[in-house]
Chain A
Amino acid sequence: MKEYNKLIFEISKRGRKGYSLPELEVETTPVDLLIPNNLIKTREVELPEVSENDVVRHYTRLSNRNFGLDTGFYPLGSCTMKYNPKINEAVARNPQMINLHPHQREDSVQGALEMMYDTGRYLAEISGMDEVCLQPAAGSHGEMTGLMMIKAYHEKNGDFKRKNIIVPDSAHGTNPSTAQVVGFDIIEVKSTPGGDVDIEALKEHLNENLAGLMLTNPSTLGLFESNIEEIAELIHGAGGLLYYDGANMNAIMGKARPGDMGFDVMHFNLHKTFTTPHGGGGPGAGPIGFKSRLSEYQPVPVIGKTEDRYTLDYERGDSIGKVRSFYGNYGVILRAYAYILTMGGRGLTKASETAVLNANYMMAKLKPHYPIAVDRVCKHEFILREPEHESVTTLDIAKRLLDFGYHPPTVYFPLIIKGAMMIEPTETESKETMDDFIEAMIAIKGEMETEPHVILSAPQNALIKRVDEAKAARDIVVTHAG
């Protein structure tokens, strides 16, 4: 294929157009007679002039410069890059479901409200939470909403001193940053070498300033936190609440529930566990689930059900308020709903079992070749350490994987494992795909001994070579000048 490296602005030509509008039909008064001159634009809008075919070809070519889940294996740990079912996409385009104005009267959107109400119920069942609010737009937005509810809860109890949120050092970056934006102080506790929360370290912070703990379980090391009951007891005993980061829910559907583990509030990543696409960086959705004692603080509106009618309830005195416009990323929720119904309870359980099986299989196969961070049964993902080598690093291995046609694992996370490579195969990959990837990993290990330069200069087969990131940060060219 011919190389293509043009910006849409560079194929613009005066006089071309890519749109059609209806006739104006109505009588007009010149704009400048109705709007004062000082408010009217002073120069032409600088958008490209391109035909429809130009646009279609341009973005099709750009798509060819992208690697998606449909292109190939994407074992990006912590991101749950599982297959995005096509029926979800079709359902989310059903005009009767999607062509609805958010300010329509309740009685004209009963189908939409029913779908959301039921999705909330299903998520509550999966998580063991009492209620679900679908509004947050992403995982970190769910974290923010959940922590706001924790803060509101303490303040309602007159506990204004409770400002500390404990976050393990293995946590996702969003955990500490969310705690900070909600106005908490962050206490980072070390993990044990085995990847669990260090209970003794935790005990040092159990006091009247404790607001809560944020935890992912399975942890970011892909391991089930087996002391979770004791942790929950300690935190609750000190008057704190537990937040569950649902990024790793894909390991435990039908097997264990955050609500049973003692968590009080959590978020789901519909774009991870529930197969909605990542879209190259969103839109996702981060609904939250919570125990009834936090119910009164949830954002408005609350989707309710009375007799046979679904309602949007705004009258909630102790609600934290609104965290976004309208009711949630409805189109994303609709896709997750389709997935849940497609799988049923049995299918979701099977999905988690298979995700865990796949991860353990890959770990077993790679163990003779790469150092495993923590050598015990993993859940849906596992971590390799950076192999000892004089020049080859984790980054180089990741880049070499591109040459083999794979998206690399998550690298350098969690921070507590040096040169971590976090591999999450998900349940939607075949044994053949996993075997091929394992072979590639073993081949790279071989190259480290025989021809490390091949790894160091990778990728060779991608459309571009490694990028000068320092230049981008130095020059700050963030728009096109032409």
Chain B
Amino acid sequence: MFRYLPVTDEDRKEMMDEIGIRSIDELFNDIPETLRQKEALKIGNPMSEVELNRKIDELGGKNRSNLTCFRGAGAYDHYIPAAVDHLISRSEFYTAYTPYQPEISQGTLQSIFEYQTMIARLTGMFTSNASMYDGATATAEAAMMATVDTKRKEIVVSKSVNPETRRVLDTYCRFRDINVVEVELDEGVTSAEDLKSKISDKTAGVIVQSPNFFGIIEELDDIREAITDKKTKYIVYTDLIALGILKTPGESGADIVVGDAQSFGCGLAYGGPYLGFMATTKKLIRKMPGRIVGESIDQDGKRCYVLTLQAREQHIRRYKATSNICSNHALNALGATIHMSLLGKKGLEEMATQCFHKANYAMKRIVETGKYKLKYNRPFFREFAVEGISSFDLVDEKLMDAGILGGYHLGADYSDLENTSLICVTEKRSRSEIDELAKRMGEI
């Protein structure tokens, strides 16, 4: 007997009698003889919980998981209140399917409605969808939305957008014959001049990130102004925590706002699952991919929530749908909603402000060592680039020896940024941890 399989031998016999068969094999007689698997699966013997835990501990011992994290570049080590995991562990939430039956899914539906509200408010947009896989795929989907809406085949994207995101964008676009044009950098931000020269009446959408990959806050208003064609969609990739300090992309005229809400409730989790979000204007809502929850009433007039505007989606429109997304990251969206509720108005602002001050403090301390210089002298949020005199790998290794996960190597993505580290400082880092980082970096 396996503990997940409650049918007993006696049950089995009764059930086979009911069906009118003598052996289980008869149920597989419709599989052609040539295809029937003769050999047992080579996966080993079943493991008990004790054995499995031992195996996992053994694997865990091969990882370095206890590092003091100064690395970001798309995945951030933020404070997650204990209540978040506690609540998303309620199995009424996590063992439910997509809420197709609203009468028994109000918990999921209402939480998505709250999530949409929070994302819309933070980004300054009309609404969001129920979630996407991650920031990179949300960006690619936004680009698809822009091309479908404008019937154009060109996307302009700044080189200050996360390289990982741009790679995903490239893949999605290539298969739809959409041309991707990259905009050069000017001292760590999108070059205004190059941007203007690359936007034309063929441009479906312009994608910028702020705070950008280097942590620098872009001039979103100026970029909006550079987009003179009314049809071109302005797509802004943003960070929700930064919006505790910064003006909303909506106020800067964004048509679509995307990003990764990994900072809210996902943890580092070696890259996933994270939480892509996408928000847009009222005008574009019918072009938005994914699930959307709307408010309605039941037959008794009670307020309730239901999946809406489903005619956009793959299960209704099939090959006419603009996106094929089906399962998304609903549970991560729930975690983010809980996280945002706990932080609230003040908490988000305080968290953002702490990141900002601690990052600025760290920058000063690192530059003071005399071994590094600040690469770009521009306002940054939580990450900044410093160029060192010694090789990145050497610095990285020394820091690892001290139990510190240092900055991200920008040279991996930008050939002119060899030995330049992108350092990330969140509210979790203490003054002494920052001092220790600076000290260790200075010793090399």
Answer whether residue A354 sits at the interface, using C-beta atoms and an 8 A cutoff: yes
Give the contact stretch, choosing among B50-58, B197-205, B229-237, B366-374. Answer: B50-58
| Chain A residues with CB under 8 A of B127 | 478-479
With A31-B245, A471-B297 given, name 8 new contacts (CB 8 A).
A19-B343, A21-B79, A67-B101, A173-B318, A229-B35, A256-B36, A322-B171, A326-B134
Minimum distance in angstroms from A258 CB to a CB of chain B:
10
**Residue of B26, B271, B303, B428 most packed against chain A (CB within 10 A):** B271
Task: A62 to B19: give the CA distance in the assembly, Å.
Answer: 41
For residue B332, CB closer than 8 A to chain A, the reply is: yes
Complex contact A345–B93 (CB within 8 A): no
With a cutoff of 8 Å between Cβ atoms, the chain A residues found around residue B7 in the complex are: 354, 357-358, 427, 430-431
0 or 1 for each of B283-315: is its CB under 8 Å from A? (1 = yes) = 001000001111111111011101011000111
Give Cα A141–Cα B334 distance, bound, in whole angstroms. Answer: 21
Interface set, chain B 32-58, CB cutoff 8 A to A: 32, 34-37, 40-47, 49, 52-53, 55-58
Give the secondary structure class of A's interface.
Answer: loop
Contact present for A431 and B14 (CB under 8 Å): yes
**A472 and B296 contact, Cβ closer than 8 Å, known pairs A46-B121, A59-B111, A176-B319:** yes
Q: Which of A18, A76, A144 has the most CB of B within 10 A?
A: A18
Contact assessment for B107 and A177 in the assembled complex, using a CB-CB cutoff below 8 Å: no
Q: Does B267 reach chain A (CB closer than 8 Å)?
A: yes
Q: Which chain A residues border B248 with CB–CB below 8 Å?
A: 41
Q: Which 9 A-B pairs have the closest CB atoms?
A: A96-B60, A326-B271, A66-B107, A279-B331, A345-B41, A281-B330, A102-B271, A111-B62, A283-B273
Query: Is A293 interfacial (CB 8 A cutoff)?
Result: no
A477 interface hit (Cβ, 8 Å): yes
Complex contacts, B269 vs chain A, CB 8 Å: 98, 100, 330-331
Number of residues in A with C-beta < 8 Å to the partner?
197
The answer on a CB contact under 8 Å between B330 and A325 is: no
Q: Is A1 an interface residue (CB 8 A)?
A: no
Q: Does chain A have a CB within 8 A of B213?
A: no
Which residue of the partner chain, among B221, B329, B344, contacts A38 with CB atoms under 8 Å? Answer: B221
Determine if A256 and B31 form an interchain contact, defined as CB atoms under 8 angstroms apart: yes
8 Å CB interface, A328-378 against B: 328-332, 338, 340-351, 353-354, 356-358, 360-361, 364-365, 376-377
Residues in A whose Cβ lies below 8 Å from that of B91: 68-71, 84
Q: Is A2 an interface residue (CB 8 A)?
A: no
Which residue of A is nearest B346, CB measured? A17
B144 at the interface (CB under 8 A from A): yes
- For A133, the chain B residues whose CB sits under 8 A away are none
Judged by a CB distance under 8 angstroms, whether B326 is at the interface is yes
Q: Whole-angstrom distance between the alpha carbons of A322 and B163 in the complex?
A: 11
Mask: chain A, 443-482; 1 = CB below 8 Å from B; 0 = not: 0000000000000000100111111110111011111100
A-B contact pairs, 23 of them (CB 8 A): A20-B81, A21-B350, A34-B356, A39-B247, A41-B244, A47-B341, A66-B106, A67-B104, A102-B268, A114-B62, A138-B328, A177-B317, A181-B175, A280-B96, A281-B291, A299-B171, A322-B168, A325-B271, A329-B273, A346-B41, A353-B24, A428-B6, A475-B295
- Which among A83, A89, A349 is the interface contact of B41 at CB below 8 angstroms? A349
B436 close to A (CB within 8 Å): no
